[in-house]
Structure 1
Amino acid sequence: MTDVRRSGAESRERILAVAREHFARQGYDRTTIRAIAAEAQIDPSMVMRYFGTKEDLFTLAASIDLALPDLTSAPTGEVGRTMVRHFMKMWDSDGTLMALLRRAATDPGAAEQMRTIFATQVAVAVAPVCPDPSQAPRRAALAGAQLIGIALGRYVLDLPPIVEMDAEEIVDWVAPTVERYLTGPLPKPADD
């Protein structure tokens, strides 16, 4: 290992960048502190000093800004399409988000982190386009469940029909449902 002199802040950022790559590429279980330290050119004990445990490092590395688009600027009837297209690009380009999704399926802490990301970021982005902003958390949760389900089927379970579809085809199929979740009227209760 080459001893590269960096400030504490530079070392910390380098470790986080390398950790994001490793977690995204290999998942949580196959990523090791030693491998991260070797690539970051730092002693493994320093990784632990800066971040504590592997779990703590993962939590920080998987802190994600979804960079959601301003849905109020989407043309009428295009909110769902805008949201689905954004998520398809994120799923395709951000391995960290995929690593968090994979881990969230089996780890309660990662699941809570995923819930928090969706509850805080998606609900806030959705509220201005909801007919009743008080319904934003429900509408965001339904849209989020749809989008997470697509990601799970396409990138984790490798369901052949979904894997074979191009991103724009998925947008065409899923956008109307997400549009209804976000901007449509509330369903009428079923008569008993």
Structure 2
Amino acid sequence: MSSRPTSRAEQRRNTESRILAAAQRLFAEVGYDRATVRAIATAAETDPGLVMRYFGSKDELFARAVGFEADELVTGTPEQAAEQLLTALEHKLAATPIDALAALRSMFGHPDAAADVRSAMVARQQQAAQHLATDDADLRAGLIGALTIGAVIGRYLLRLDGLADAEPERISALLRTAFHEIAHGTPAAES
């Protein structure tokens, strides 16, 4: 087993990764207020001063930990957008979305965290709305977002029967018609 010395840059990246992972876990487990910089540093096996040096503030660390910027942008036609949004939901349901849970748990107890989460979600909603049917596009994007959030909360926080153990593909299959009807609508039946 060889141990090669690591550069300062590698050490910094490793420490930053440990801090971010610890922050995500703690924000998801206990929320924004109870996840202190000291607790995050302890969980990351580092010094609280390094947390502040690498992330600037607890708010900036929270913004990185919830990771909304990591989501893929919605593109294409309303039909393609619906499928992209279903795929994103499947990914969130396939493995515990620590970043989303950190955001959700924290926003209920801390006004600044709630504002950060709302701001990020509104930006995502506005971006997705550009690729949905133009009539009520913001409402359409908001409804799909609400279905997604509801599915994540139901599966991971409430552990609802059926939803908690269902295969992600089964959930998206059941939601496919709803996502498509919301994203691009169905022609009105002639009377």
Q: Distance in 1 between matches of 2:125 and 2:142?
A: 8
Query: CA 1:34/1:109 → structure 2, altered by over 3 Å: closer, same or farther?
Result: closer
Percent identity, aligned pairs only, is: 30
The alignment partner of 1:68 has SS state of: coil
Aligned residues: 180
1:113 aligns with 2:116: yes
Quote the residue 2:151 is aligned against: 150
Quote the residue 1:161 is aligned against: 162
Q: What 5-or-longer segments of structure 2 have no aligned partner?
A: 1-5
1:102 aligns with 2:105: yes
Quote the residue 1:127 is aligned against: 130
Q: Which amino acid is 2:149 matched to? A: I
Deviation at 1:55, TM superposition (A): 4.2
1:138 aligns with 2:139: yes
TM-score, normalization by structure 2: 0.72
Q: Distance in 2 between matches of 1:92 and 1:114?
A: 22
Is the Cα–Cα contact under 8 Å of residues 143 and 182 in structure 2 kept in the other structure?
A: yes
Is the Cα–Cα contact under 8 Å of residues 71 and 126 in structure 1 kept in the other structure?
A: no
Deviations 1:38-91 (A, max 9, x none): 3544322332344455444223322322533654278x5x65344123223124
Q: Please report the RMSD computed on the Cα atoms of aligned residues, expressed in angstroms.
A: 3.4
Q: Distance in 2 between matches of 1:148 and 1:100?
A: 11
Query: CA 1:84/1:173 → structure 2, altered by over 3 Å: closer, same or farther?
Result: same
Q: Distance in 2 between matches of 1:117 and 1:53?
A: 18
1:83 aligns with 2:85: yes
Is the Cα–Cα contact under 8 Å of residues 81 and 172 in structure 1 kept in the other structure?
A: no
Deviation at 1:17, TM superposition (A): 4.0
The alignment partner of 1:96 has SS state of: helix
Q: Distance in 2 between matches of 1:69 and 1:59?
A: 18
Quote the residue 2:3 is aligned against: none
Query: CA 1:86/1:52 → structure 2, altered by over 3 Å: closer, same or farther?
Result: closer
